[in-house]
């Protein structure tokens, strides 16, 4: 048995960041991971591998448009997607990043314990590895076990014709017709990938719009672009009630606003994720569960003294950067409670940037127009399209818009919502705008370089007052 100041269970973007921060603050720290390599779901089965697929699809689409940019000799009709090569590149990038995390553990003198971590109660952590079970003690513990793809009764993934987001990252053949259930971030990203690579795509969503947690205008315009540019069949307000599985196809039965029967090569079930809280020993603690998640306070503390929980096991936005910030808060509070002079600051969940890497991309931060009105704000909004912007036309992506949601009396900016080229990069400017508490008038007076995509920000701010210059 070894003793540590801090043990972190799970090496995803929340867990490994928490471990590094704990070690930096002088805590003897251990990191427990059940996989053979570090990085968690985000690196191996989520954010990073999905983005490699998206980049391959983007390059594929660009090559088809080479002649428009004055590049001759590319036979667009002869282009084909080599899925084995896409997967190979994905694996290479993932491995490189995993080795980087291993290096950081060594650099910061974090002890890595390989095996399945389980809470043993009273400050004990059981690590079930190949050589058996070891028990370690810790003054403080951070639970960061993440999440897994959610199954639906009757639509359970089999890895062959009915897939989840883990399976599709390793798919060896291009689906001739891919039906995707769920039009959240995961669903629309894979819809964008496979539509650009050449698959017929049908997107099915129970709610009334794609990307239902985003501003309504974003979901409406994205659906229009998907339908027009990528010829997708989008069926909102619809559900799949059953699926028939065959060796070479599936038949999906739909009910709702757009009912019917669909025969497809594959079905991707992308209806969200489920927290990994079962089997980790929470019943050995006083931690309280909240609809499947672990209840925590602003400093990520559970009801069990000395136990923290972060990331996808708590009811906060399930995003890698949120988990990382929560890991910092938990590690710093753990260190503070052990006498270290550090002052943790809780996460401001109204300032969480969101990114969806479809084509066009989506980036957002703050309140949607609906949420702002529901909170009682007197709201004014301004939208401006990318179409007139020189840089958007230069890069060949003059579609989408930016929308600013503001409070009317003082011009406080409550939310910024972007659909368009490089939106997931532009949202960083949005983070700075809200962090700096700029008003609409202050944003109008902010100078941006020309030609850049960032010029759209003051135009949208002027649109709030109905006086955009390039309209």
Cβ contact 37:13 at 8 Å: no
Torsion of CA 340, 342, 346, 351, to 10 degrees: -150
User: Could you say which of 266, 399, 450, 465 is catalytic?
Assistant: 450
> Which sign, positive or negative, has the C-alpha torsion 346, 125, 140, 98?
negative
Nearest by Cα to 143 from 347, 322, 308, 276? 308
Give the list of residues 6+ apart from residue 125 with CB closer than 8 angstroms, or none.
7, 9, 32, 117, 118, 119, 135, 136, 137, 138, 141
> 411: cis peptide before it, omega within 30°?
no
Nearest by Cα to 248 from 233, 263, 232, 268? 263
The pair of structure tokens assigned to 151 is 């199954």
**Kind of pairing between the strands at 116-121 and 124-129:** antiparallel
CA–CA distances in Å: residue 79 to residues 55, 63, 76, 85, 99: 16, 8, 5, 14, 34
Residue 450 among the catalytic residues? yes
- Residues belonging to the active site: 450
């Amino acid at each position: 048995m070894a003793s540590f100041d801090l043990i972190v269970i799970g090496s995803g973007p929340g867990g490994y960041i928490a471990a590094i921060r704990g070690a930096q603050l002088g805590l003897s720290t251990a990191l427990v991971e059940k996989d053979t390599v570090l990085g968690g779901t985000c690196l191996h089965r989520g954010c990073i591998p999905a983005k490699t697929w998206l980049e391959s699809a983007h390059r594929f689409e660009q090559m088809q448009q080479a002649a428009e940019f004055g590049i001759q000799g590319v036979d667009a009709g002869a282009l084909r997607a080599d899925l084995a090569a896409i997967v190979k590149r994905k694996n290479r990038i993932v491995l490189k990043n995993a080795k980087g995390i291993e290096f950081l553990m060594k650099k910061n003198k974090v002890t890595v314990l390989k095996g399945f971590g389980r809470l043993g109660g009273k400050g004990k952590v059981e690590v079930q590895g190949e050589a058996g079970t070891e028990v370690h003690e810790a003054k403080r513990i951070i639970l960061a076990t993440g999440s897994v793809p959610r199954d639906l009764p009757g639509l359970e993934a089999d890895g062959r014709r009915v897939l989840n987001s883990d399976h599709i990252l390793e798919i060896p053949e291009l689906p001739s017709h891919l039906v995707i259930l769920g039009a959240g971030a995961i669903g629309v990203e894979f819809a964008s990938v496979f539509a650009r690579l050449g698959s017929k795509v049908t997107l099915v969503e129970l709610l009334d719009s794609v990307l239902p947690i985003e501003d309504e205008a974003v979901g409406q315009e994205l659906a229009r672009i998907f339908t027009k540019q990528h010829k997708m069949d989008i069926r909102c307000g619809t559900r799949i009630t059953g699926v028939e599985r065959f060796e070479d196809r599936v038949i999906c039965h739909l009910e709702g606003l757009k009912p019917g029967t669909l025969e497809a090569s594959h079905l991707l079930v992308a209806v969200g994720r489920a927290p990994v809280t079962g089997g980790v020993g929470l019943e050995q603690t006083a931690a309280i569960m909240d609809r499947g998640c672990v209840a925590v306070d602003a400093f990520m503390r559970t009801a069990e003294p000395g136990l923290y929980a972060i990331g996808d096991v708590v009811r906060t936005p399930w995003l890698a950067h949120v988990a990382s910030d929560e890991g910092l808060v938990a590690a710093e509070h753990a260190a503070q409670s052990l006498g270290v002079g550090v002052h943790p600051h809780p996460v401001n969940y109204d300032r969480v940037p969101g990114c969806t890497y479809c084509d066009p991309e989506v980036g957002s931060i703050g309140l949607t127009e609906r949420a702002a009105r529901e909170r009682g704000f007197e709201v004014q909004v301004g939208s401006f399209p990318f179409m007139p912007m020189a840089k958007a036309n230069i890069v060949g992506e003059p579609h989408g818009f930016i929308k600013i949601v503001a409070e009317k009396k003082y011009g406080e900016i409550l939310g910024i919502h972007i659909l368009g080229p490089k939106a997931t990069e532009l949202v960083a400017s949005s983070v700075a705008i809200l962090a700096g508490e700029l008003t609409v008038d202050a944003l109008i007076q902010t100078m941006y370089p020309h030609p850049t995509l960032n010029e759209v920000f003051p135009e949208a701010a002027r649109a709030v007052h109905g006086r955009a210059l390039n309209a």
